[in-house]
Structures are given as C-alpha cells and as structure tokens.
Structure 1
Amino acid sequence: MFEKLEITRMAQALAAHSGARMAVVAENVAHADTPGYKAQDLPAFADVFAADDGAMRTTRPGHLAAASSTTTPGPERAPGREAPNGNSVSLEGEMVKSVEARQSHDMALAIYRATSDVIRASLGRNR
C-alpha cells in the first residue's frame, strides 16, 4: 500500500541513496592512507531523483523490464586536492558528507513515519 504513494516512494529512495552514500564515505575513510586512492562520492539525490523523470519502474525482479531503474547510481570520482602520495581523501570532508548522509536518512525516516501516521489516522487506528 505504501509503495503507491509518491511521497513514500521518494522517502524510500532518499533513504536508499543516503545509505549508499554512507557506504561510499566509509570506503573513502577506510582508504584515507592508501597511496593513489581517489575519493569517491554519489551524485546529489535531487539530481538522481530528477533524472528518474517518472518512467515506469519495476517493483520486483522480472516484472516489466523498464528502460530506467531506481537503483542508486555508482560512485564517481569526487573533486579534491591530492596529497603528495596521490590520495585525495580529506577526512574533514568525509565527516561533513557523513553528517549530510545521516541527516538525509533521518529526514527520510521522519517523512515515512509521518506518512504512516496520517494513513493510520485516516483509517481510524491509533499507533
């Protein structure tokens, strides 16, 4: 029932994007001392969601092979200055990205929770 509502679909996509971005940030931090490692990041959620343009979506594997998919795009090389060893990871920058991803994830959960509360209230059910 919830997957048919646009706002819950957007909240689910934001939560998935935030989780994927947190994984990329964690990988960057893990390679902070690896010579030659280039920091990566995901495109902004707004760009990814706008590129989706409302095309048909698959709800499960094997169901309507759509031209576009709602999967999160892969990480791209993040701009930044390189250290003398060729590593471009900035721990301070990764901390900021981590906080942004956490805030986005928390916002997605709050939206989903509020939407479910509205639906419960409209059905006459309490929490």
Structure 2
Amino acid sequence: MAMETIGLFKAITAKMNYLDQRQQVIAQNIANADTPNYRPHDLSKVDFSSVLKNVTGSHNIRPVTTHENHMPSAVSIDSPDSRESKTTYEVAPAGNAVIVEEQMVKAAKTTMDYNLMTTLYQKNVNMIRTALGRGQ
C-alpha cells in the first residue's frame, strides 16, 4: 500500500507543500526588503478544515467523554481558529512595505509548522510499521 493513498498522509503532504511554497514567498519578501516600491506577498490561506472534512468523510469529529466526570468539549475540531490579520502600517521612504521582523516571524512560524508536519508524518509511519509488526 502506498502512503499517498492514505487520507491522513495526503493531508499532511498537502500542508507540507503549502508551507514549502509559503517559505519561498517569505524568503523572496526578505530578499526584496530594499527594493523600492516592493510590496510583500503571501500565499492565500488554505482552509485545511475542508481538507480534513475530505479526509474524514465530512464527519464532525468531537472528543468523546468516556466518564461522567469528564468535561464536555465546547469546540469541535472543524471550527477554524479565527485570527485577525493586521494591515501593514510601516512603509519605508522608498515605498517599500516589507517589514523584515514581521517576515522573519512568519518564516519562523512556517518552519515550526513544517517541522510539526514532518513529525506527524513520521509518527504515523512508525505507528503503521508497529501495526504491521515491523517495529520502529
């Protein structure tokens, strides 16, 4: 069985590809930090909750309370994390709107997210190996 046919691996690979492309765009923004009239770019946000719905078959996944003393979950997995994006307030005298510090923070977050995806991928591969009796 190829790993690419398993839905979870498809979703992780899609997220890794997105993060790879985003890192390239951020690096381009940093490289053009001194270019006059350059505006920073970013990839449009991908709704990975829709990818998750495709993988899970549109089921609403909720944690299960297995004991009456457990607290019920207030949020389901498919509810997106709503964050406001701030507008760019700084513009250099040459008209360049790249804020290097902001781009570096985005690059660091993208790297952390990518590392998380590679860890998830590896953990799931190890779990499948264990299930097949091949160990780690």
TM-score (norm. length: structure 1): 0.73
Structure 1 unmatched runs, 5+: 55-77
2:127 to 101, 114, 118: 118
How many Å separate the matches in 2 of 1:111 and 1:35? 41
Q: CA deviation at 1:84?
A: 2.0
Runs of 4 or more off by more than 4 Å in structure 1?
50-53
Structure number with greater Rg is 2
Aligned residues: 103
8 Å CA contact 1:11–1:108 kept in 2: the answer is yes
Identity %: 30
How many Å separate the matches in 1 of 2:18 and 2:5? 19
| Letter of the structure 1 residue corresponding to residue 108 of structure 2 | V
Alignment RMSD (CA, Å): 2.1
1:85 to 80, 89, 94: 94
| Letter of the structure 2 residue corresponding to residue 14 of structure 1 | K
In structure 1, the partner of 2:31 is: 30
How many Å separate the matches in 1 of 2:50 and 2:134? 37
How many Å separate the matches in 1 of 2:29 and 2:95? 14
In structure 1, the partner of 2:16 is: 15
Q: CA deviation at 1:117?
A: 0.4
Structure 2 unmatched runs, 5+: 55-85
Q: CA deviation at 1:80?
A: 1.5
